Amino acid sequence: MDEDLDALVRRVDPDRWLSSRFVADPAARADLVTLYALDHELARIPSVVTNPLMGEIRLAWWREGLEEIAGGRPPRPHAVLQAVANSALPPTALAALAEARLGDLDGAKAGEAALAHADATEGLLMALAARRLSSNATADHVKQAARAVALAKTDGPAALTALRAARAELAGLPIAAFPAVAHATLAGRYAHNKNPGDFEKRGRILLAVLTGRISQGTCTAFGTCPPIEQPRV
């Protein structure tokens, strides 16, 4: 690849990359970057193939490569798979993520189908990131935050509903795992059809990490906002 994985994720997935900066352990931070780079490779497949069959073939290549790593075989010659092999990430769960991304080939979803797909993709991704940062983190801690991220740009009302529910769920998330979900604080802005700039993104994610809570995104970067709740201890 022409750029390392950290530079790739910073370019194509700046929200998650910014959140990962708050992971103190270099190895854990690198594993999150690897996870996000893998999801980028999987999620972009529908936009680079000419028909669903070609997408299925590409996703099968990734799934099989991850299953080979899980079976103890050397990784295929791709920087992301090599990084997975050298990480503490569970390749079997990553293969399930590749399988779930088949749903992207079917086009836009609505209602319960959209929620189910969000759980299988963004939900799994966020759960793996949180679990990498804390062994006490579970998928139930991040389910609604992941739904908010997944739906923010396609179904604003559903994303805002998920955000409201996420605040209660995240109260039980270990503090160490919060960088896995901090970028969800931007979902409210996207759900309100706003496109925050780099400075606003950094400020919102920093505030989320400092308070241990995500925002509804109803205030501007410098405008009047609802009172901030006290940080969790």
Same domain, 113 and 215: yes
Segment holding 93, helix H or strand E:
helix 91-100
Does the pLDDT value for residue 78 go beyond 50? yes
pLDDT-above-70 percentage for the chain: 91
Mean pLDDT of 12-36: 97
| Mean pLDDT value of segment 10-35 | 97
Is residue 233 in a domain? no
What predicted TM-score, i.e. pTM, was given to this entire model?
0.90
pLDDT for residue 218 is more than 70:
no
d(CA 33, CA 37): 6
State the average pLDDT over residues 115-124: 96
User: Please, are residues 156 and 124 in contact by the beta-carbon 8 Å criterion?
Assistant: no
Report how far residue 212's alpha carbon sits from residue 194's, in angstroms, rounded to the nearest whole number: 23
| Residue 229 is assigned to a structural domain of this protein | no
- In order of 204, 216, 219, 225, the CA distances from 228 in angstroms are 12, 11, 12, 8
Q: Based on the domain organization, do 213 and 141 belong to the same domain? A: yes
The amino acid present at 145, given as its one-letter code, is A
Domains contained in the chain, number: 2
When pLDDT is averaged across residues 203-225 and rounded to a whole number, the result is 73
